[in-house]
Chain A
Amino acid sequence: ETGVTQTPRHLVMGMTNKKSLKCEQHLGHNAMYWYKQSAKKPLELMFVYSLEERVENNSVPSRFSPECPNSSHLFLHLHTLQPEDSALYLCASSGWTGDYGYTFGSGTRLTVV
């Protein structure tokens, strides 16, 4: 365990389903991130929250909806996804600005059928 816990580790969902990914950190970090990792592509930043306020939204489709109820928890709500959304979704946390590096979770492997 790295200090950032993601659940579930694997998720298979239909295109009409609604599901949520959860991320939790107790490292005292102030910023939390959602990244998408597709095969043979660099990690893509989806959302950044700093002190529960969203500070970055990288043109992510509205079928992905983040929620940060407190600085220790981050959710990614999923609905009406497409097969091309199948990927590894990684959560990370960092200090104030990320200047001193991130701590990543183990990821959720999502398959949309």
Chain B
Amino acid sequence: KNEVEQSPQNLTAQEGEFITINCSYSVGISALHWLQQHPGGGIVSLFMLSSGKKKHGRLIATINIQEKHSSLHITASHPRDSAVYICAGNSGTYKYIFGTGTRLKVLA
């Protein structure tokens, strides 16, 4: 069992829908990172958070340290949001533990 679990693994939504991707972790981490990976392979950092909530445009990330859980929300989803979303926990110096990713497809 992976120390960082994401759900769902795959998600298909209609344009405009509100989307939630969940991340649970079983190890101690100092921060959690949400990443976006497009089909070409490159990975872009979306958020890094250690408590509370962060918002950037239509994206919102929350984390509950006590429950070891984080969520990534996308409001008013758009086909260009289609990508793989990966959460990663910082578990030590140079050490990130990655989830397997959630593959999101937003249909027009």
Contact = CB atoms under 8 A, between A and B. Distances in A.
Contacts, number: 63
A97 B91 CA distance: 11
A106 B90 contact: no
B40 interface: yes
A106 B42 contact: yes
A42 B94 contact: no
Contacts of B45: 101-104
B7 interface: no
Given A42-B98, A42-B100, A107 B93 contact: no
Interface string A72-106: 00000000000000001010101001111111111
Contacts of A109: 41
A25 interface: no
Query: A-side binding surface: helix, strand, loop or mixed?
Result: strand
Contacts of B90: 98-99
Interface string B34-56: 01000011111100100000000
Contacts of B96: 43, 45, 98, 102
Interface residues of A, number: 29
Contacts of A71: none
Given A42-B97, A98-B96, 9 more contacts: A42-B98, A43-B88, A90-B41, A92-B43, A98-B90, A99-B30, A101-B45, A104-B42, A107-B41
Closest 4 CB pairs of A and B: A106-B42, A107-B41, A104-B43, A42-B98
Interface of B: 2, 4, 30-31, 33, 35, 40-45, 48, 86, 88, 90, 93-101
Interface of A: 2, 31, 33, 37, 40-43, 45, 48, 50, 55-56, 88, 90, 92, 94, 97-107, 109
16 contacts: A42-B2, A42-B4, A42-B98, A42-B101, A43-B98, A45-B95, A88-B41, A94-B94, A99-B30, A99-B90, A102-B96, A103-B45, A104-B43, A105-B42, A106-B40, A107-B42
